[in-house]
Amino acid sequence: MLVDGLEQRVLESLPEDVNSVVVAVSGGVDSVALLHLLQRISSSRSLVLHVAHLNHRIRPEADGDARFVEELCCRLAIRYQGECCDVPELAAQEKISLEMAGRVARRRLLERVAADTGAQLIALGHHRDDQVETLLQRLIRGTGISGLAGMAVRDGIWWRPLLCYSRRQLLDYAHRNRLSWREDASNQDPAFVRNRLRTRILPLLEEINPQCGERLVVLSRQIAEEEGYWHEQVMACFPSIVASASDGLRLLRPPLLSFHPALRLRLLREAMRQVRGHLQGIEAVHLRAMDALLRGARSQAQLDLSGCWVARRYEHLWLCRTAPEPPPQYVLPVKVPGETLLPDGRRLVITPVLRAEVETRHRVYFDLTAVESSLSVRTWRPGDRFIPLGMLGHKRLKRLFSDLQIDKEERLRTPLLVAGETLLWVAGLQRSGFGTVTPDTATPVRIELL
């Protein structure tokens, strides 16, 4: 019988080491059937259930749904935790659709309840019809191949034990067991894309092929199997493209370009997942834009994508949740001799010495008697130029930065030692030809950037 089959399949998909599960219950037939199934098998597995319900305040009936779920849990002696959230307000605040805001709010509640209760899994009532609608929705929004794998029965903490059953089968289970549930009128609202797919598009496709839904699910399973292979390849290759993860995620451009485009796009997708924490809202167009940035002729460019800032910086691809804040601009008088503290915590130290020694990027020597004006340290300004040591003519600072492949962000942090309008030292990079120490220099000084 279907009832026995459902219970057995749910039991088989439950890992042996799981003893606590959060169940997402909206009050609809899918989630009520799921709760009933889990409650029936709980005694055989010593399974503790916790029900979570989100009152999204979108419909007038929402309060009634919350009361129904709470009363149901009371009858079944199952722990219940409900929460209210103004989903329309959340959608406005985060600039996302009402559908997406509802999912975000529900996800946050479920994760919080799981953390509070120590539950190992969160059970969702998604079924085969939901899978079909998800596939169609992703197709029309422009998904990549990975998106066609659809929802998985197990995805980390998320568990969908009913994914292989249709809504019709769940209705049959509910009727057989005389369950009661709440009908959500918004499921017929054509304002939601998923509803239009279910009520308009799918019936047309089923006129062409009555098995359309089943064919899509089979295709999804085949793609999911292949995605398992690709996941192994991505995890094996990903460490080789990471330059650093101290300020977001910096990827090495040359090895990325050496991979086949199919693998490269999946590596970029994994980078997005690591930075954002999830892939919600990420579509094929975003990955293609990243790939174009990576392969393009511009050595410095950036993109603002959904929940992620991506920048090409010469031979790196830099990903952050948000664009980095520009460092403060400043002009400071320099103590001679003495120590000058810079806003970023570095120090400019000037010390009298008997003679000059070998210079480095962070240590130079000057004859201050050859410098007419008092010293100051400041940040870069458009149009800055100087005469590098060994050259006769001026060089624009922008050109120096470009030649040395200095990132835009680092350019704004580079201290410049100046005397009046004369640039003496691009600290940490290159000195000018002014004020060099000679055998006739009476009082040379050492200037260090520490």
Do 271 and 256 contact (CB within 8 A), yes or no?
no
Identify the CA nearest to 145 among candidates 224, 202, 215, 213: 224
Residue for token digits 């830099």? 318
pLDDT for the residue numbered 3: 47
Q: What is the tens place of the pLDDT at every residue in 322-337?
A: 999 988 899 999 998 9
- The length of the chain is 450
**182, 186, 201, 252, 332 from 328: Cα distances, Å:** 57, 50, 55, 28, 12
Helical H segments across 16-97, by residue range: 29-45, 62-76, 87-94
Residue 146: per-residue pLDDT: 85
Helices (H), 177-260: 193-196, 202-208, 212-237, 253-258
249-252 and 316-320 strand pairing = antiparallel
359-399 pLDDT, tens digit per residue, is 899 999 998 887 767 899 999 998 999 999 988 889 999 99
CA 331 from chain centre, in angstroms, equals: 37
- Angle made by CA atoms 159, 72, 192, in degrees to the nearest 5: 60
In angstroms, the CA 400 to CA 40 distance is 72
Whether residue 175 contacts residue 33, with contact meaning beta carbons closer than 8 Å, is answered with no
Q: Rounded to 5 degrees, what are φ and ψ at 336?
A: -130, 110
pLDDT value at position 94? 80
Q: Report the pLDDT value the prediction gives residue 147, as an integer from 0 to 100.
A: 86
Q: How far apart are the first and last CA of the chain?
A: 77
The reported pLDDT for the residue numbered 241 is 97
User: Angle at CA 307, nearest 5°, toward 324 and 323?
Assistant: 10
Taking the C-alpha atoms of residue 409 and residue 327, their distance in angstroms, rounded to an integer, is: 8
pTM to 2 decimals?
0.76
User: What parts of the chain have a pLDDT lower than 70?
Assistant: 1-4, 185-187, 372
In this prediction, residue 4 carries a pLDDT of: 56
Report residue 400 as tokens: 């120096």
CA distances to 28, 162, 174 from 65, in Å: 9, 22, 18
